[in-house]
Structure 1
Amino acid sequence: MSSSSPSTGSLKPTLGTFDVVAITVSSVTPASSVFVIAPFAIQQAGSGAFLSFVLAAVLALMFAWCYSELGRAHKTAGGEYVYAKRVFGGMAGYATFLTVLAAMIFVPPVLATGAATYLNAALGTQFDSQMVALVIVAASYLLGVLNIKLNAWVTGICLLLEVAALLVIVVLGFGNAEQPASVLLQPQLLENGVLQAAPMALVVGAVGIALFSYNGFGGAVLLAEDMKDGGHGLPRAVLWSLLLVVAIELAPLTALLIGAPSLAEMVASPDPIGYLLASHGNETLSRLVSAGIFLSVFNAIIAIVIQIGRVIFSSGRDELWTPALNRAFTRIHPRWESPWLATLFLAVPSALLSFSSNLAEMTSFTVLLIVVVYLIIALCALFSRVLRRDIEHSYCMPLWPLPALLAVIGAGYLLLNLALEASGQDLLTILGLLAVSVILYGTYGKLSPAFQKL
């Protein structure tokens, strides 16, 4: 395999910490998380969704410290799979790579399918949600191959518009407070048409959904090779990204619950945001906010596609594929300075998933994949200093190993609960990914000098 190794290109370091934060927070898309993902948490835990998001923020901080330490020590566009390989070996690296790859395929269509509702609300149309999702995903992949500095500015501007849309919810909710603050700390759930105390088991169960809504803050590590300072600002980028995401999401969620004219009607509504806007706003305001949310999802998928391109580029450089694919994935476009073929690699399968008819099932499977990745990151952070003493860990998380240990426990608990509730098809898919990783590592990984030297 070494004789056919690709002539690798290299990423041009043009981004500052602010640029990385702008792209990272945009990839999280706080607005679409509140509008598309948070309703699932409200349906499951009622007003307990607030506590679910708070608990998820605490757990996310543990993961953010893990990402920060690993990202600074192992500066690479490959991110999670490189950490797993360097800490636990090649088999772990391949398994992590395929898990990350699967999550990356699913996230864009999940977000895009949920965005169709807001496009129709903004325009007063009835476009088919699957066709809208297909167009969004396809356009995002095409835009994702452009110069990353240009995309950083575009995503940053769109992020400001996204925050403006969420501020409308904050003003409407807190400006028309109808519910006591106690609903936040004393969770209530609709049961047989009557509000009842929500069991804490349901609140904790919704933490996985809340964690999905924050997911992406660790994506800053994928831009390590794009940073002008050689990745020195990476820990700040990860932690600032998480802080902004939590603040941007938690404020409107709180306002949503406090401002509900009827908590029972809001919990029962499939569109809690629409319910609040209809109660306290007007049609013009609702359309403007819906337009902002649609734009935010489009913006988010572009940012996610940029990150996908970096992971696939890294996998080609590390020779995880056939020689021909390795060469293609490491090709840098002479004008756009981006790994354009690597960026477009997942476009077709991701676009095809837009035709899935069940958003809830896609979301639950994506949450399962994400928690698996978080568990791997936590384990890597727990053992990296011990097993890789040859690598300098210039950023050290506070109180190590406690945050990493808490991250392992939290991710393990969530994964166990999600696995117990997962469908047989989802579990078989996970086992299939592990089986394929064994085959790929046995056929390519062991023969790849680049991968073995990581």
Structure 2
Amino acid sequence: MGDKAGTHAPPDRQAGFTMVTPENKLRRALNVPLLTLYGLGVTVGAGIYVLVGATAAEAGVFAPVSFVVAAVVVAFTAFSYAELSTRYPVSAGEAAYVEAGFSSASLATVVGLAVVLSGLVSAAAVSLGAASYLHGLTGAPTEGLTVAVVALMAVIALWGITQSVTVAAVITVIEVSGLLMVMLWGFVFSDPSGVTLPEIIPPLTGPHWVGIGTASLLAFFAFVGFEDMANVAEEVKDPLHTMPRAILWTLVLATVLYIGTTTAVLMAVPLETLSASAAPLLLVFADAPAPLQQGFSLVAIVATVNGVLIQMIMASRVLYGLADRGHLPKPLAYVSPKTQTPVVATLVVGLTILLLALTFPIDALAERTSQIVLFVFVLVNLALIRIKLAGAPADQHFRVPMAVPVLGVGTSLLLLATGLL
């Protein structure tokens, strides 16, 4: 893997892409730290706050190992995204990759809309979760709080990419701080009621690997989100170096946080109690002072709100990118000359999230979101394989061996098939 130079046409001129005029371009303002925080914000979220108990129910004391397995699986597709996002540093990344690999505008549109759908459903479900947490604190009607959450996040998203990602980055720091609180209290201050550290290391052989494998399917979904980084590539400074580094840092940091958090909870909480809980991280603070418990609850609210904002940014950029390339109505590609954000696309996304949150059974829709993401992963990896086999020219870009997208297809299909059983 590494950076390779070329002398061919810029990516914007490939696969049917058209160069946009300077006044209509999104602003390139994101560096490695901001993009990494954006990636962590969309990856580290409600998943880890609720998945620890579910993974422990399947893998038992070996739950942390399931996150290691999931990280290895995710890494293949992550590196495929690293190459593709530097070949084609544009919005609606997955759609652009599929169009370049399959020369099919219709398939690209399907993929782009699938990405948007997964983001909309996820954001709608998360906004309901945020409203429910807020209802517990304020007693205000959940419907009104849902409207307020979505409206506030839409205003921030319209404000500007630097401002909105900076807000998301600040929230992400708070969100990650919550996980660090869990680790600190679980490792240092809580009464150890769970397992010891040596018990978490599994034997090399035995039936326990079946449970670890099943749990890794759950843990995988805690990593879903890094791919959204590709959809702000058009707003990244120096995509050639920034995109791969930010993707790698996001994956490494998320893995460390997940393993540390899961281990701390297992050591602090009895396995039987943990496996039956829908709010497992709160169990770590069972013997903590009330202010600390309340403070952690606020962090959980912030984490859910952050998910709404980041999914809103992602979905609006995909709609903008599809419209900019003529696959959707042109008004969706309108960029405000003042904020340099896709105004119409953001408003459409915000209204759709609100509609889903208020009128549809989000739980039923959310169950399909992970399958949509895996479907997209398969097509993206296949697109990279086809691009490599065709020897498609490109300007400077990050490169990975052919084995990476091949393994990305295989692992994604395996998880998709398992989820459909």
TM-score, structure 1 normalization: 0.80
User: Partner residue of 1:140?
Assistant: 153
Q: CA 1:198–1:172 in 2, change beyond 3 Å: closer, same or farther?
A: farther
The question of 1:181 aligning with 2:197 is answered yes
Report the residue type matching 1:256 in the other structure.
V
Superposition map of 1:245-324 within 5 A: 245-260=254-269, 262-278=270-286, 280-321=287-328
Structure 1: distance between partners of 2:128 and 2:54: 14
Q: Give, in whole Å, the separation in 2 of the partners of 1:137 and 1:250.
A: 32
Q: 1:331 to 1:157 in 2, by over 3 A?
A: same
Answer whether contact 2:50 2:281 (CA < 8 A) is retained. no
Match of residue 82, structure 1, among 88, 93, 96: 96
Distance (Å, rounded) in 1 between the aligned partners of 2:57 and 2:416 = 20
Amino acid at match of 1:25: L
Structure 1 residue 38, shift from structure 2 partner: 4.0
Q: Assess if the C-alpha contact under 8 Å between 2:85 and 2:239 holds in 1.
A: no
Deviations 1:399-446 (A, max 9, x none): x122222211110011111122xxxxxxxxxxxxxxxxxxxxxxxxxx
Scaled by the length of structure 2, what TM-score is found? Answer: 0.85
Q: 2:32 aligns with which of 17, 34, 37?
A: 17
Q: Does 1:351 align with 2:364?
A: no
Post-superposition offset of 1:388: 4.6
**1:57-111: per-residue Cα shift (whole Å, max 9, x none)?**
1111111111101111122112001101110121431221221121121111222
Q: 1:201 to 1:111 in 2, by over 3 A?
A: farther
* Aligned-partner Cα distance in 2 for 1:283–1:359: 32
CA distance in 1, matches of 2:282, 2:207: 23
Which deviations, in whole Å up to 9, do the C-alpha atoms of 1:361-411 show, x marking residues without a partner? 3442111111111222222233321125223462112xx122222211110
Alignment pair present for 1:402 and 2:409? no
Distance 1:16 1:161 in 2: 20
Give CA-to-partner distance per residue, 1:152-207, whole Å, 9 cap, x none: 322222222222222111012112333123553459xxxxxxxxx98644432333
* Deviation at residue 127 of structure 1 after TM alignment: 4.9
In 1, distance between residues paired with 2:199 and 2:359?
Answer: 36
How many Å separate the matches in 2 of 1:292 and 1:389?
A: 46
**For residues 345 and 48 of structure 1, what CA distance do their matches in structure 2 show?**
44
Alpha-carbon offset, residue 221 of structure 1: 1.9
Most deviating of 161-170 and 13-22: 13-22
Structure 1 residues 393 and 229, CA gap change in structure 2 (3 angstroms): closer
Pick aligned residue for 1:208 from 214, 217, 226: 217
The answer for unaligned runs of 5 or more in structure 2 is 1-19
Cα 1:170/1:127, change in 2 over 3 Å? farther
The one-letter code sitting in structure 1 at the alignment partner of 2:71 is A
Matches of 1:363 and 1:233, distance apart in 2: 31
Question: Aligned residue for 1:427?
Answer: none
> Which secondary structure does the structure 1 equivalent of 2:397 belong to?
coil
In structure 1, distance between residues paired with 2:207 and 2:310: 36
- Matches of 1:115 and 1:45, distance apart in 2: 29
RMSD (CA atoms): 2.6
- In 1, the alpha carbon distance for the partners of 2:95 and 2:343 equals 21
Matches within 5 A, 1:9-158: 9-28=24-43, 30-90=44-104, 91-120=106-135, 123=137, 125-127=138-140, 131-158=144-171
Contact 2:132 2:142 in 1 (8 A): yes
Conserved 8 A contact 2:334-2:342: yes
1:312 CA drift (Å): 1.0
Whether contact under 8 Å (1:46, 1:198) holds in the other structure is no
Partner AA of 1:401 in structure 2: M
Aligned residues: 395
- Code of the aligned partner of 1:404: P
Contact 2:356 2:362 (C-alpha < 8 Å) held by counterparts: no
Q: Could you tell me how far apart the structure 2 residues matched to 1:89 and 1:40 are?
A: 41
Change (3 A) 1:312 1:61: same
2:176 counterpart (146, 160, 163): 163
From the superposition, tell whether residues 267 and 360 of structure 1 become closer, same or farther in structure 2 (CA, over 3 Å): farther
Distance in 2 between the 1:412 and 1:215 partners?
A: 15
User: Which of 382, 385, 397 does residue 385 from structure 2 map onto?
Assistant: 382
Letter in 1 for 2:33: F
Change beyond 3 A, Cα 1:355–1:206: farther
Q: Which residue of 2 aligns with 1:3?
A: none
Q: Which residue of 2 aligns with 1:428?
A: none
Q: Which runs of 5+ in 1 are unaligned?
A: 1-5, 188-196, 421-454
Distance in 2 of aligned mates of 1:412 and 1:319 = 31
Q: Is the alpha carbon distance of 1:356 and 1:185 closer, same or farther for their aligned partners in structure 2, counting shifts above 3 Å?
A: farther
Quick one: distance in 1 between partners of 2:174 and 2:278?
Answer: 25
Letter aligned with residue 332 of structure 1: V
Does residue 226 of structure 2 align to residue 217 of structure 1? yes
Contact 2:109–2:322, Cα closer than 8 Å, also in 1: no
> Quick one: which amino acid aligns to residue 77 of structure 1?
S
Report the equivalent of 2:249. 240
Give the drift of 1:43: 4.5
Flag the 1:20–1:13 CA change in 2: closer, same or farther, 3 A. same
Mapped to 2, the partners of 1:264 and 1:413 lie a distance apart of 30
Identity of aligned residues (%): 22
